[in-house]
Amino acid sequence: MKENYRRVHSQNMRVYLAVFALLAAVHCKELFNGGQVLRIHAESEDHIQILKELQRDVDSGLDFWTHAVSTERPVDIRVPHARLYALKNFLKENNIPFTVMINNVQELLEREREEMLGNAEMERKTKSLNFAAYHDLETIYNFMDTLVADHSNLISKVNIGSTYENRPMYVLKFSTGGEKKPAIWIDAGIHAREWISHATAVWLADRIATDFKENRAPVPSILSQMDIYLMIVANPDGYVFTHRSLSEFYRFWRKSRSATSNPKCHGVDLNRNWDAEFSGPGASDDPCAEDYRGPSAQSEIEVKNIANFIMDHGNFKSFMSLHAYMQLLMYPYGYVGTDAPDRTELHDVATQANKALNSWHGTVYKVGSIFHTIEQASGASVDWAYLRGIKYAFAFELRDTGEYGFLLPADQIVSTARETWYALRYIMQYVCDHPY
Amino acid sequence: MANTTGDLEPTHYPARRAATVALHYLNTRHGSPHMVFGLQQVHKASAEDVAAGGRNYSLDFSVTASPGGSPGPALRCSADVLFPRTEQHTPPDVQLRCEALQEINSTAEDEAFYQKYIAPDSAVSAQDLPDSYGNMSEEMQPFWRLGRVAASFIMLRESSENTELNMVQVANVTQQESSEKQLMLDYVVLLHDLPSQEITQWKLLASWSPDRGVRVLHTEWQPRCPHATKPPN
């Protein structure tokens, strides 16, 4: 049964492709009125020779969609109306069987064209998000709702708590069911000004959904064994602040928006506020500093919400965080320079993931621990996850390496997202294959 | 802070920071409205303490030239970057050699740009290059690149082993009256330091001509509104 479906499906595909090619070539409607596509079933070498001769005759007006090669494969020919009678006679005289595949090419073209226009219209209505652009929080939150609605069998939206300014914090849960399956965590936007991370996460959400829907490996098999949690905006207050005006003071905001002990300075660096060697070197205790760690570990509600969610779940096997910029793929530790116990394995995984990333566009990333590749950092989320037993913990610094920095042109979003996906996909497959 | 002497891991930050300093030096010398260099990667690096009290980094690295903005070929460079150890900050000293530097040029585009804007009534003014979304008009790109080159003078001067500076935006560029056949440009640029994550704002006055290249005549640290962190060094 399946076999038949596949054959018919590929037959339809070929017809569709051929019709599409026709559509591209069509300038004058009348050319195709009354024309037919015949499927020839050659039964002998003689038949093949006859068809080959016919194909060689450039004045025949016949459009061979497939070539005469062997008796195993049918030969499809688009025949203009004017030649139909003559060709059918010719085939009959030579005892070459044929069937009429497409009765009226023009009709088919019109139907296909209408369908394509209809699809575009539908896409415009539902999938109206332009992935090659940066969007504000409201648009991203709307996108999440649309995605959930379009893939309700796979995706749900989880509210894990509110921000300092009382905005909801949402995580998209990709799950094929089951009770607390081992899970993968991916977050973006913990630093507000790193817009490419949110934009990448938006694209990733759609890509995972689409790959699942279209049964594209390895997503369905990963999701059969694990759940994926994707947090597109880990710092909503900060992100909204970066949109408040074009002024650089807003656009380059990094931290949260909480009040601090200094009335002139707001916000905590959410990636220095985790309970992982909190208050060690590699963070500041000055509320006005960009890497201000906050008054205490998890003092920031945003960090507390994520940490609690992950601990309550209790079955996360991987934790990955997207940042920008510098083109780095890193693993723990950030707080100290000594090797993490799993350093060798993590370095290997990161190295392979990096190769996958590079294969898309040739973008060069460097691999190493956070401490050694970027700088010492205490209270970092990736360290926290690793110290809590989530072995496969990685941090990405996405494009670029300083040319545009935080202001990466929007025309690089999709390419950045795709190469990041290649790396993430590798890591997720690896995590799936190495349960612990 | 990691204090390493001897061979350095090329992918780690000590080597990369030193290479970034060499890159700033390269841009001050060879940058133009249509040519800005970027660091591609460090191949080999080593560091040693020097007698006078400082550390010298020896580097083997590649840079990419971006003539007219499109990614160009990689150039192999070697450099010695000396970070002095003094009470008050002293700028690093750079010795640099890059192969085939003479072969890549943007002379034609630079010349055309020069002729267009050296005209007496030219008075270009622009803000936010690029804007929040990374956009910038094609016409403004040479001014942005000149801003990056001019900012390199500041970044070179302000660099230490504990900094890694990049220019993240030209907040403002205003053309001044040309002087001695030089384009005169007032810039406000924003620099980002990777280790501290701080953004600093600098006002500068730069001159440029195809003959003389970029010179920076005046720099001034500026507080960013509304709160001011203290000036560097």
pLDDT at A399 over 50: yes
Asked if A390 and A286 count as a contact pair (C-beta separation under 8 A), the reply is: no
User: How confident is the model over A260-296, as pLDDT tens digits?
Assistant: 999 999 999 999 999 999 999 999 999 999 999 999 9
DSSP strand pairing (A316-324 vs A183-188) = parallel
B62 is a domain residue: yes
Q: Do B166 and A405 touch (CB under 8 A)?
A: yes
Q: Considering CB atoms only, which of B9, B41, B134 is closest to A404? A: B134
Angle at B107 between CA B101 and CA B110, to 5 degrees: 125
**CB distance from A254 to chain B under 8 Å?**
yes
Q: Considering CB atoms only, which of A265, A368, A403 is closest to B38? A: A403
The CATH number covering residue B188 comes to 3.10.450.10
Backbone angles phi, psi at A205, to 5 degrees: -55, -45
Please tell me the predicted confidence (pLDDT) of residue B1.
Answer: 42
Q: Considering CB atoms only, which of B169, B198, B229 is closest to A248? A: B169
pLDDT at A134 over 80: yes
Closest CA to B45 of B91, B7, B82: B7
Query: A–B: how many Cβ contacts below 8 A?
Result: 102
Nearest residue on chain B to A366, judged by CA atoms? Answer: B11
B129 is a domain residue: yes
B72 is a domain residue: yes
Q: Do B197 and A291 touch (CB under 8 A)?
A: yes
Q: Considering CB atoms only, which of B192, B226, B227 is closest to A405? A: B192
Q: Kindly indicate the confidence band of residue A114, based on its pLDDT and cuts at 50, 70 and 90.
A: low
Distance of CA A256 to CAs A189, A380, B22, B123, B208, Å? 11, 15, 35, 40, 41
Please tell me the predicted confidence (pLDDT) of residue A110.
Answer: 62
**CB distance from B197 to chain A under 8 Å?**
yes
Q: Which domain holds residue B59?
A: 6-222
**CB distance from A422 to chain B under 8 Å?**
no
Distance of CA B222 to the CA centre of its chain: 18
Please tell me the predicted confidence (pLDDT) of residue B2.
Answer: 47
**Mean per-residue pLDDT for A347-373?**
96
CB contacts under 8 A, A 372-391 vs B, are: 372-376
Angle at A222 between CA A217 and CA A226, to 5 degrees: 165
pLDDT at A12 over 70: no
Share of chain A above pLDDT 70, in %: 86
Q: Do B133 and A409 touch (CB under 8 A)?
A: yes
**CB distance from B169 to chain A under 8 Å?**
yes
Q: Domain count for chain B, please give it.
A: 1
**Mean per-residue pLDDT for A377-402?**
98
User: How confident is the model over B101-117, as pLDDT tens digits?
Assistant: 887 778 899 999 999 99
Q: Do B13 and A264 touch (CB under 8 A)?
A: no
Q: Do B196 and A410 touch (CB under 8 A)?
A: no
B203 is a domain residue: yes
Please tell me the predicted confidence (pLDDT) of residue A105.
Answer: 67
Nearest residue on chain B to A133, judged by CA atoms? Answer: B133
**B227 vs A190 pLDDT, higher one:** A190
Closest CA to A249 of B78, B93, B103, B132: B132
Q: Do B13 and A254 touch (CB under 8 A)?
A: no
B1 is a domain residue: no
Asked if A393 and A386 count as a contact pair (C-beta separation under 8 A), the reply is: yes
pLDDT at A23 over 70: no
Asked if B74 and B62 count as a contact pair (C-beta separation under 8 A), the reply is: yes
B128 is a domain residue: yes
Please tell me the predicted confidence (pLDDT) of residue A9.
Answer: 45
Which amino acid is located at A294 in the chain?
G
pLDDT at B147 over 90: yes
d(CA A185, CA A148): 18
Closest CA to A267 of A250, A288, A245: A288
pLDDT at A67 over 70: yes
Distance of CA A165 to CAs A2, A168, A169, Å? 55, 9, 11
The alpha carbon of residue B102 is apart from the nearest alpha carbon of chain A, in Å, by: 23
Asked if B89 and B47 count as a contact pair (C-beta separation under 8 A), the reply is: no
pLDDT at A300 over 80: yes
Q: Do B133 and A410 touch (CB under 8 A)?
A: yes
Q: Do A366 and B192 touch (CB under 8 A)?
A: no
The alpha carbon of residue B100 is apart from the nearest alpha carbon of chain A, in Å, by: 22
Assign residue A393 a region (left: φ > 0; alpha: ψ between -120 and 50; beta: otherwise). beta
The alpha carbon of residue B172 is apart from the nearest alpha carbon of chain A, in Å, by: 11
The radius of gyration computed from the CA coordinates of chain A, to the nearest angstrom, equals 29
Assign residue B196 a region (left: φ > 0; alpha: ψ between -120 and 50; beta: otherwise). alpha
Sequence-distant (6+) residues with CB within 8 A of A199 are A131, A133, A134, A135, A410, A413, A416, A417
Q: What is the 3-state secondary structure (H, E, C) of A71-100?
A: CCCCEEEEECHHHHHHHHHHHHHCCCCEEE
d(CA A315, CA A184): 9
Best of A248, A371, A404 to substitute, by most chain B Cβ atoms within 10 angstroms, is A248
Q: Kindly indicate the confidence band of residue B68, based on its pLDDT and cuts at 50, 70 and 90.
A: low
Please tell me the predicted confidence (pLDDT) of residue A91.
Answer: 86
Catalytic residues of A: 397
Q: Do A409 and B130 touch (CB under 8 A)?
A: yes
**A291 vs A116 pLDDT, higher one:** A291
B228 is a domain residue: no
**Mean per-residue pLDDT for B149-159?**
98
Please tell me the predicted confidence (pLDDT) of residue A49.
Answer: 87
**Mean per-residue pLDDT for B190-214?**
97
**Mean per-residue pLDDT for B172-187?**
97
**Mean per-residue pLDDT for A411-429?**
97
Closest CA to A395 of A413, A372, A415: A372
Please tell me the predicted confidence (pLDDT) of residue B76.
Answer: 96
Please tell me the predicted confidence (pLDDT) of residue A32.
Answer: 61
d(CA A40, CA A312): 65
d(CA B196, CA A375): 9
**A309 vs A33 pLDDT, higher one:** A309
Q: Kindly indicate the confidence band of residue A53, based on its pLDDT and cuts at 50, 70 and 90.
A: confident
Please tell me the predicted confidence (pLDDT) of residue A103.
Answer: 67
User: How confident is the model over A180-221, as pLDDT tens digits?
Assistant: 899 999 999 999 999 999 999 999 999 999 999 999 999 999
Asked if A17 and A80 count as a contact pair (C-beta separation under 8 A), the reply is: no
Asked if B188 and B170 count as a contact pair (C-beta separation under 8 A), the reply is: yes
B227 is a domain residue: no
